[in-house]
A and B are shown apart, each in its own frame.
Chain A
Amino acid sequence: MTTKEQKMANSGIRVLEILKKLVEKPLSKDEIIKLIEDNSSTKNIYSKETVSKYLNTFKLLGIDIEKIGDKFYLRTNFNKINLDKKKLETLNFLKNYALGVHRKEGSIKITELFRLIENSFDDETIKEQAHLGGLRLGRRVSDSSALMIRTFEEYCKDRRRLKIKLKDGRNFSIEPKDIIFKQEKAFLLGYNLQKREFKEFFLEDIEEVTRQPQRALDNNFLNPVMFRVKGGLAKVYDLREGEQISETHKHKKVILNYAEDRELLARRLLRYGKECEVLSPQEFRQYFVKLLDEMAAKYD
């Protein structure tokens, strides 16, 4: 290969290398110049005009490059996807649902993700999407709820302990862990420091929050609930996340549950009726009995 041909080939490689980098992240003209110079075996200096020439090459081929601020964003995906009407409707629902839950950090990521997917539609899918016009909307939370979700998201990121007062007057000292969503409702998942258990708090039930100076720990000690399943239930019982079998007898199994919110666990165990017995901790067993008494009292 002659020097001229080599130079030409290198120019082709430079264009491809820029594209490869743009797939990973947006770049400014200065960053593109640095990328070319770092990869070059010569000590050539490249100008912004050269970069414009390369960007023109993309444009001429219909590769969509969008400039936002000083950065260039690649909007075309070389791999195409075909989604039928049903899947497009589901995608539109998912997008609206995701944006609707207003999770600040997540919303940003999810916007990029949906843009990626939409930029990968093949011609047929683009036509179908235009026809649908983003129907089948997901549910949305109110602006005040969105603000609350963002605030608690900050608390989880900050990882400082919280004192929480609920509207029903109960107080908790917790380490905030995550925001979880059930349907369109947001819950704070926290580690209850007094009871050494995870607990879910419906955000709208929280009246007051005080941040504490202490930081949250990475590994929390968990105090498990032990219960026995009997009869037919023992045969068909599927372990949940955070559960393990402690003992197995012929028609009985003893299960340890580490992770589930205690109030929700109690509801689930109630469902099993007399085929399930809570064994420990004593405090949870008493709580379970109290629940049964309250339920029975409604029919006295």
Chain B
Amino acid sequence: MGAEKLLINQKTNKTAISKTGYRALYLLRLLIASPRTREEILEAFEKDFVMAKDKKLSKDTVTNTINTLKACGCEIKRPNSKNGFKYELVSHPFSFGINKVQFQYLQELRKSLVTYGDWKLIDEINELYASLSEFAADEKMRSAMLNNRPLKNISSGVLNQLKKFIKTREIADIFYVSPRNGKEHIDFLPLFLRFESNKLYLWGFSYSYKNIGYLRADKILNISAKTEPANIGPSECEEFKKSCLSVRYRLTGYSAHMFFEGVDDRVIFRDENSVVVETVVYNEFNFLQKLMNFAADCEVISPVYFKNKLKEHIQQTRACYDD
């Protein structure tokens, strides 16, 4: 429908809109876009095709319209020398926000997505929720959307640095709070990030310990490029990787249902009831923990060395219960 048709009732030939309502909403839009002086508002009114027909427009019209907005719950700052004599809209009640039920559902969705163990997805969801938090109906929900999230203990600064170092394959000096040794500097070649047991781990080659290890991302205080003349190079890491074992195992039951292929896994076979996986083992201790987590759903197929290793680990755990 054309604007003219909306403006005039064709049957009665009378105005088919509320002119003051139109003016108030027009001003609301102007002030949402940016603060304006009274003169700027009047000029905009005079240029509008609906209001231009009204010959009685004046500065008082502007004041009255501002008062109409205020009467309906808009908070508008008075013009003064500090704000360049502009009317400034602080808040208004005409925006819908994410209500409590929707907020709870969004949080539930985020929680269920964590079970994929895909840290990139979690990071992206967190970024999206940060943008959407502007729409939360109150401050409490806004704060929860921003802060009540997975990866909450990791600063965005550290996370961005980790992503950068993984991409550039640079050797880093990582200042780390080790659970066993306290604060220490580690020369580390970051390889990839992995989300496991609700925590984010940085995997890489530790030149300090000469092995592939993992660091808890939330315990990293600082990460910087290795500036000292390095007598180490990425080739040492490549050599180590070549020497890593590949372990083949079969999963059944719940573990097979829930198995999600990681960066170092390769699915060899999959049917309704089972999955056979081959994994490159960068860290034996961590891999043993992973297999223990599968409980009786897991059987190591090869190599024999790792079958024995797991058996020994199970027996040591079982020995705690030899009353």
Contact = CB atoms under 8 A, between A and B. Distances in A.
A192 to B, nearest CB: 17
B131 interface: yes
Nearest to B254: A202
Contacts of A120: 135
B314 A295 contact: yes
A109 B25 contact: no
B154 to A, nearest CB: 14
A90 B115 CA distance: 17
Binding site secondary structure of chain B: helix
Most chain B CB within a 10 A radius of its CB, from A83, A202, A271, A285: A271
Contact of A235 (B20, B28, B113, B179): B179
A293 interface: yes
Interface size, B (range): 35 or more
B296 A57 contact: no
B295 A236 contact: no
B302 to A, nearest CB: 12
A12 interface: yes
A12 B20 contact: yes
Given A54-B18, A116-B98, A292 B128 contact: no
Interface stretch (A156-164, A175-183, A212-220): A175-183
A232 B179 contact: yes
A195 interface: no
Contacts of B124: 86-87, 89-90
Given A235-B179, A235-B180, A267 B294 contact: yes
B68 A16 contact: yes
A273 interface: yes
B115 A292 contact: no
23 contacts: A1-B64, A9-B64, A14-B18, A16-B69, A20-B72, A23-B94, A54-B18, A54-B21, A57-B21, A57-B25, A59-B1, A61-B26, A78-B29, A78-B94, A81-B135, A182-B115, A267-B295, A271-B290, A273-B313, A274-B316, A292-B314, A292-B317, A296-B311
Given A53-B16, A86-B124, A299-B314, 18 more contacts: A13-B68, A56-B16, A57-B25, A78-B28, A87-B124, A90-B125, A112-B102, A117-B135, A181-B112, A181-B115, A232-B180, A263-B254, A271-B289, A271-B293, A277-B320, A292-B321, A294-B296, A299-B308
Interface of A: 1, 5, 8-9, 11-17, 19-20, 23-24, 52-54, 56-61, 63, 74, 77-79, 81, 83, 86-87, 89-91, 93-94, 97-98, 101, 106, 109-110, 112-113, 116-117, 120, 180-183, 185, 202, 232, 235-236, 263, 266-268, 270-274, 277, 285, 288-289, 291-296, 298-299
